[in-house]
Amino acid sequence: MTVDSADPAPTGRTVLIRVSGHDRPGITAGLLELLAGHDVDVYDMEQVVVRERLTLDVLVGVSGGDDSLKDALFWAFESGVQLDFEMVEPTSTRAGLPRTVVTTVGSHDRMTPAALGAITRAIAAAGGNIDRILRLARYPVRSFEFVVVDGDSDELRTRVVEASAEHGVDVAVQRGDIVRRGSRLVVMDVDSTLIRNEVIDLLAEEVGVRDEVVAITESAMAGELDFATSLRRRVALFADVPVEVLDRVYERVDLTAGARTFVRTLKRLGFKVALVSGGFGSVVRRLADDVGVSRVAANELEVVDGRLTGRLVGEIVDRAGKARVLESFAAANDIPMSQTVAIGDGANDLDMLAVAGLGIAFNAKPIVAESADTAITVPYLDAILFLLGIRREEVEAADVADPAVETNGLVAIPGTPPA
């Protein structure tokens, strides 16, 4: 509880009123109506309900001789709730201190008391004090958000990451400022991010040149070829193939779990969403249409007389190209880079992740996970919503209220853990 620095200086006694008990409609209104009849200032207020059990804190300034606290005790008795008072300092020693948001994401078997205990100990060891805890999701993963006051941010990040790695849970450490809440553009990779496949491998299998494509890919990963050269050599293997092969490739693509929910929720919140891919535009655009994304950048296969020529058209979207695309999308929409989010899994995503306000490695290769601002290892793309402070219940409520969305039993999935 803090008194906002913009509030007038408190007069008289500063009292923290705590109401607890079984939740029902009208408790908060009843207390405030009682206070309204007295010479009381309300400085701060916070309420939380866990399993229908209410905790309501109201910080008030009470002038001398006022009977509001005595009347509040009688109100609590009549309302069937417990009421406690505590005299506190007029101003908070935490007011104005920097805040950091620590978000944890993990499977049920890993997000244990031991894991949460290790993370909270790491926060304390870095000099941080937990000001608020919020559960963001209970399934298909568990996620909690810790708002931390004070502490050395670099040490906090180091200690929390070490603790989370020991217990196999994901963690994100971000500044708790307005920039985090103001993210407005999300740009994500396609292969092994939006989808679980690599489109070029699917195409190679359809054409019958998978071994040749794999060999060129391995040479590139070994540093023997740059991305552009390796891509051109792989594409050359598709020369004279009927363009209809791309239809078969599209039919084989598997969306990552949670992809539709992720995009749909971002769009509801007013985010701009874009796809950027080192793969092929003819497939990526169909995927974009499928999930509702209108902004796409990808490599283009040349087609003549209904057949692939084995050549590319236009500028190649490579590692540096992905970063340029992110910057151009942001500039075109007048969005500061600090309010952008980039998501990817491979080395060619590194520049994009680096220039974004928040770079997220999604089930990524080790070098990418180590370089990104944060990493997600659970196989659900919509788990990234939790890093943005969006609760699972909010997503579900919006889906249930939208007649265009087929929830498929989202709210009552068989085998779901209890609320």
Q: Does 285 share its domain with 370?
A: yes
Tokens of residue 223, six digits:
């540093």
pLDDT band at 351 (very low <50, low <70, confident <90, very high): very high
The pLDDT assigned to 1 comes to 42
Indicate the residue among 45, 65, 87 that finishes a domain: 87
Q: Does residue 5 have a pLDDT over 60?
A: no
Q: Does 153 share its domain with 295?
A: no
Q: Does residue 3 have a pLDDT over 70?
A: no
The pLDDT assigned to 404 comes to 73
Dist. CA 20–CA 416, nearest whole Å: 29
Q: Examine residue 368 and state whether it is found in any structural domain, yes or no.
A: yes
Q: Does 261 share its domain with 326?
A: yes
Indicate the residue among 110, 143, 176 that finishes a domain: 176
pLDDT band at 405 (very low <50, low <70, confident <90, very high): confident
CATH of the domain at 29: 3.30.70.260
Q: Does residue 54 have a pLDDT over 50?
A: yes
Contact call for residues 105 and 155 (beta carbons, < 8 A): no
Q: Does 116 share its domain with 44?
A: no
Mean pLDDT of the chain, nearest integer: 88
Q: Examine residue 233 and state whether it is found in any structural domain, yes or no.
A: no
The pLDDT assigned to 96 comes to 65
CA-closest candidate to residue 244, choices 179, 301, 299: 301
Contact call for residues 230 and 216 (beta carbons, < 8 A): yes
Catalytic one among 23, 170, 189, 373?
Answer: 189
153 vs 337, higher pLDDT: 337
Q: Examine residue 181 and state whether it is found in any structural domain, yes or no.
A: no
Tally of domains in the chain: 3
Q: Does 41 share its domain with 134?
A: no
Q: Examine residue 354 and state whether it is found in any structural domain, yes or no.
A: yes
CA-closest candidate to residue 176, choices 149, 152, 156, 142: 149
Parent domain of 156:
99-176
Q: Does 314 share its domain with 333?
A: yes
Q: Examine residue 290 and state whether it is found in any structural domain, yes or no.
A: yes
Dist. CA 212–CA 8, nearest whole Å: 73
CATH of the domain at 271: 3.40.50.1000
Q: Does residue 126 have a pLDDT over 90?
A: yes
Contact call for residues 342 and 353 (beta carbons, < 8 A): yes
pLDDT band at 412 (very low <50, low <70, confident <90, very high): very low
Q: Does 75 share its domain with 134?
A: no
Q: Where are the beta strands (DSSP E) in 325-396?
A: 340-344, 358-362, 374-376
61-118 pLDDT tens trace: 888 666 888 898 999 999 999 999 998 887 776 666 778 999 999 999 999 999 999 9
Verify whether residue 189 is a known catalytic residue: yes
24-60 per-residue burial string, b: 16 or more CB within 10 A, e: under 16: eeebeebbeebbeeeebbebeeeeeeeeeebebbbbb
CA dihedral 346, 352, 354, 356 (to 10 degrees): -130
Q: Does 56 share its domain with 105?
A: no
Weakest-pLDDT range from 9-18, 88-97, 121-130, 362-371: 88-97
The pLDDT assigned to 4 comes to 47
Q: Does 281 share its domain with 383?
A: yes
Q: Does residue 2 have a pLDDT over 50?
A: no
Q: Does residue 316 have a pLDDT over 50?
A: yes
284-304 pLDDT tens trace: 999 999 999 999 999 999 999
Q: Does 273 share its domain with 373?
A: yes
The pLDDT assigned to 414 comes to 32
Q: Examine residue 211 and state whether it is found in any structural domain, yes or no.
A: no
The pLDDT assigned to 411 comes to 34
Helix (H) or strand (E) holding 32: helix 27-36
14 vs 12, higher pLDDT: 14
Strand-pairing partners, residue 53, are: 22, 50
Contact call for residues 353 and 368 (beta carbons, < 8 A): yes
401 vs 149, higher pLDDT: 149
Q: Does 270 share its domain with 164?
A: no
Contact call for residues 287 and 190 (beta carbons, < 8 A): yes
Indicate the residue among 30, 52, 87 that finishes a domain: 87
Dist. CA 114–CA 103, nearest whole Å: 16
Q: Does 295 share its domain with 274?
A: yes
Mean pLDDT of all residues in 202-227? 91
Q: Examine residue 69 and state whether it is found in any structural domain, yes or no.
A: yes
235-255 pLDDT tens trace: 999 999 999 999 999 999 999
Contact call for residues 139 and 413 (beta carbons, < 8 A): yes
Angle at 212 between CA 209 and CA 216, to 5 degrees: 135
Give residue for tokens 């201190």: 97
Catalytic one among 7, 44, 109, 191?
Answer: 191
CA-closest candidate to residue 114, choices 160, 166, 155: 166
Q: Examine residue 145 and state whether it is found in any structural domain, yes or no.
A: yes
Dist. CA 320–CA 6, nearest whole Å: 46
CA-closest candidate to residue 349, choices 333, 364, 329: 364
CA-closest candidate to residue 386, choices 139, 152, 137: 137
The pLDDT assigned to 63 comes to 80
365-402 pLDDT tens trace: 899 999 999 999 999 999 999 998 888 988 888 888 77
Alpha helices of 256-365 — where are they, by DSSP H?
A: 259-268, 281-291, 319-332, 350-355
Q: Does residue 7 have a pLDDT over 70?
A: no
Verify whether residue 39 is a known catalytic residue: no
pTM assigned to the model: 0.81
Q: Does residue 409 have a pLDDT over 70?
A: no
